[in-house]
Structure 1
Amino acid sequence: MGKKSRPELMLLFLFNAVIWMEARLQRTIYFPGLKLTWTEAREYCQNNYIDMFTWDTMNMNLLSTCLVKKKIRNVWIGLHEDPEQDSVWKFINVKTGKGLTGEDVSQSKNWATGQQFKDRCGSYNSFLKKWYSKNCSKRLYFSCYEDNLVLVTENKTCEDALNHCREMTTAIYKYDLLSFRNSSDFSYVRDQIYRATTEEVWTGLQFLGGEWWQSDGKTLDPQEMLPDCPNQWEHCGTMSKYNTANWIIRDCSERRNFICYYKRKKT
């Protein structure tokens, strides 16, 4: 569940100091320090983390900064040519672990000038901040990513879900229902709950004492995103795998899957 002890180069994505203090969703990039083919690199990432680095999961500029400091110029990324459509390039599908997802990016400005696209796998040059097509059998360094989310596919009431998360706490890690601090996190989390067996999952949002609160004791900002006087019993928040609305308000006694997060305890 993301708690690695291997001595690998790691970059924790802390978007700025203020958000770091309250962040619940954290994403981490790992550089295993190995040179593998594109296929081997992806298998390594899937076996040890979530998947290879892609532009829809991480920030390119932070990746570049870390690579340049370590003098790593070229790395494989989760980008390759569609095997069923010549000259169509897409990012890997981190939801299913197979295939491709998203729009064709063959015309993206991120490609290096003059690319001939003779090869089928995508790499990234950290010094030039450009993508390059390379032979998939070439051995390069690569980057993987992981987060601190745990999807639980058991059906529980919101209260029971909250207790379940907290009971997962260990001597090192504290667990809780996921609370949001950054609106940009919604689309990312929505992609991570695709394996849920219920269409919606509980989050740490609850209506208490006339205000909407997160399970970590923080009020929701802004409050106007949610009703001031919700219907009776509809005092708990979910998010959907399919509905793009950030919050959906439900009866807290309903039973559904839920999503927890963990963070290292302070020492």
Structure 2
Amino acid sequence: MERNGCSALALLLLLSVVAWTEAEVEKTIFFPSQKLTWEKARQYCQKHHIDLVTWDTVDPNLLTTWLLEEGFINVWIGLHRDPEESLVWRWINVKTGIGLTGDDVSRSRNWGLAQAIGASCGSYNSLTKTWESSLCSLEKPFICYADNLVVVTENKTWEDALNHCREMTNKSFKFDLLSVTNSSDYGYVSDRLYRATTDEVWTGLRFLGGEWWWSDGESLDHQEMLPDCPSQWQHCGTVSKNNTTNWTRRDCSERRNFICSYE
């Protein structure tokens, strides 16, 4: 079997890599029972989960419904005033501390009450479905989020990384090298690599049988993003922590950090 001059690998090898069920980037919200200032709330989220919730990590409508059902009206979220530009508000970001641009946030129709003088931290009002500015020293309920990703800072070949992830499987969770079947998750995954010790990390992307596949058995949606006849050894895919806009093919025998996901 041939495709554009590239020999297909044995079907047995193909099945051994792609036999697992589909996995996706999943995010979970947590609502701790205590009330804290904005800074302490963020420290709590970073210690126990990932960070305070931002609007790119949740479905606002589902979040609103849940908050109202639980009786929570005003809660801290990951929104704050830029300390160097007093009229600019920004989303926090696990990598840089800055998410959307100030204009995106400041001009949004999601704002409710007028921004009070000296109020530099953002909260969410579930009744009015709007953001509000508050004094950071106030103690409020808050929302954290986490995901199903694990960045491993050991350097391994692609095959060893795949085995490492799968050997992490236990009675509660099934692990695999990360498959990013939703292209909108690319930027989020790239940001999550800020603690990696290599510029690029292995993902579950592998060239097999004349096509690019994810280790969960899904094929790459946009095959044209990578060559359909890569050089002999560059059959494994990485993602960069420096926010490049594409997947990169690398020699599978190279040793680098990798990212696992779990169900």
Partners of 2:260 and 2:37 in 1: CA distance = 34
- Report the CA distance shift for 1:74/1:253 in structure 2 as closer, same or farther (over 3 A): same
Give 2:49's aligned amino acid: Y
Aligned to 1:122: 122
Aligned to 1:82: 82
- Report the CA distance shift for 1:184/1:251 in structure 2 as closer, same or farther (over 3 A): same
What pairs up with 1:1-267 in 2 under 5 angstroms? 22-95=22-95, 99-104=97-102, 105-112=105-112, 114-263=114-263
TM-score normalized by structure 1? 0.83
Give yes or no for contact 1:117–1:133 (8 Å, CA) kept in 2.
no
Give yes or no for contact 1:77–1:124 (8 Å, CA) kept in 2.
yes
Q: Tell me the percent identity.
A: 63
Pairwise CA distance, 1:172: 1.8
Pairwise CA distance, 1:68: 2.1
| Pair member with larger Rg | 2
| RMSD between aligned residues | 1.9
Unaligned runs of 5+ in 2: 1-20
Pairwise CA distance, 1:208: 1.1
- Report the CA distance shift for 1:93/1:180 in structure 2 as closer, same or farther (over 3 A): closer
Shift >3 Å, 4+ stretches: 99-102, 113-118
TM-score normalized by structure 2? 0.85
Pairwise CA distance, 1:151: 0.5
Pairwise CA distance, 1:125: 0.8
| Structure 2 SS opposite 1:213 | strand
Give yes or no for contact 2:206–2:213 (8 Å, CA) kept in 1.
yes
Q: Deviations over 1:203-229 (max 9, x none)?
A: 001111112211112222243333221
Give 1:239's aligned amino acid: V
Partners of 1:245 and 1:39 in 2: CA distance = 33
Range with greater deviation from structure 2 (124-133 or 224-233)? 224-233
Aligned residues: 241
| Structure 2 SS opposite 1:238 | strand
Q: Deviations over 1:6-36 (max 9, x none)?
A: xxxxxxxxxxxxxxx9442110111113222
| Structure 1 SS opposite 2:138 | coil
Give yes or no for contact 1:118–1:133 (8 Å, CA) kept in 2.
no
Unaligned runs of 5+ in 1: 1-20
Give yes or no for contact 1:121–1:135 (8 Å, CA) kept in 2.
yes
- Report the CA distance shift for 1:85/1:115 in structure 2 as closer, same or farther (over 3 A): closer
Partners of 1:70 and 1:94 in 2: CA distance = 27
Give 1:79's aligned amino acid: L
